[in-house]
Amino acid sequence: MLPSTAAKIYPTAAALAPLTAQWREAGQRIVFTNGCFDILHLGHVDYLERARALGDKLVVGLNTDASVQAQQKGPERPLQDEVSRARVLAALAFVDAVVLFGDRTPLDLIGLLRPHILVKGDDYLGRHIAGADSVLADGGQVLTVPLVTGYSTTRIVGKIKASL
């Protein structure tokens, strides 16, 4: 039986750290990724599924509403509040934990959770990935996975606006 979605959501890295430490001690490879995940779409599902396939446990760092607004994705963003976004992510069977973070980047979160693998989409090729130095210094890997072309929340929002 799968855990309830609420049981997979952690309000802070400190709340999740004991569980990731247990996974680490049990020899399980922890994969970490992060994002806003405002409107969950095929691109997100494919990306998260590919990330999870790289290890035994997938932790998703979820930007809080305030941190999404600070990224200036648009005045209407996020479209869904952080509680809603966290519940939707936690409902995915291949997501083992969702942890909220309010900083601009997940650097501190990654340092505390110590994942074995840090994953971002291939749109980050050639760009610095926050937390990469920490993961590499700890003997881990930083990987990018291919994104499904044509899927993004910004694009979906644009299509909706154009149809009004």
91-101 confidence digits (pLDDT tens): 999 999 999 99
Residue % of the chain over a pLDDT of 70: 97
* 74 vs 69: CA distance, rounded Å: 7
| pLDDT tens-digit readout, 11-66 | 999 999 999 999 999 999 999 999 999 989 999 999 999 999 999 999 999 999 99
Average pLDDT over every residue of 89-111? 95
Handedness of CA 157, 160, 162, 164 (dihedral sign): negative
Question: For residue 152, what pLDDT is reported?
Answer: 80
pLDDT band of 2, cuts 50, 70, 90: low
What Cα–Cα distance (Å) separates residue 33 from each residue in 52, 60, 159, 160, 163? 10, 5, 27, 28, 33
Higher pLDDT, 39 or 76: 39
* 21 vs 23: CA distance, rounded Å: 5
Determine if the pTM surpasses 0.85.
yes
Least Cα distance to 133 among 142, 125, 124, 123 occurs for 142
Residue % of the chain over a pLDDT of 90: 71
pLDDT band of 1, cuts 50, 70, 90: very low
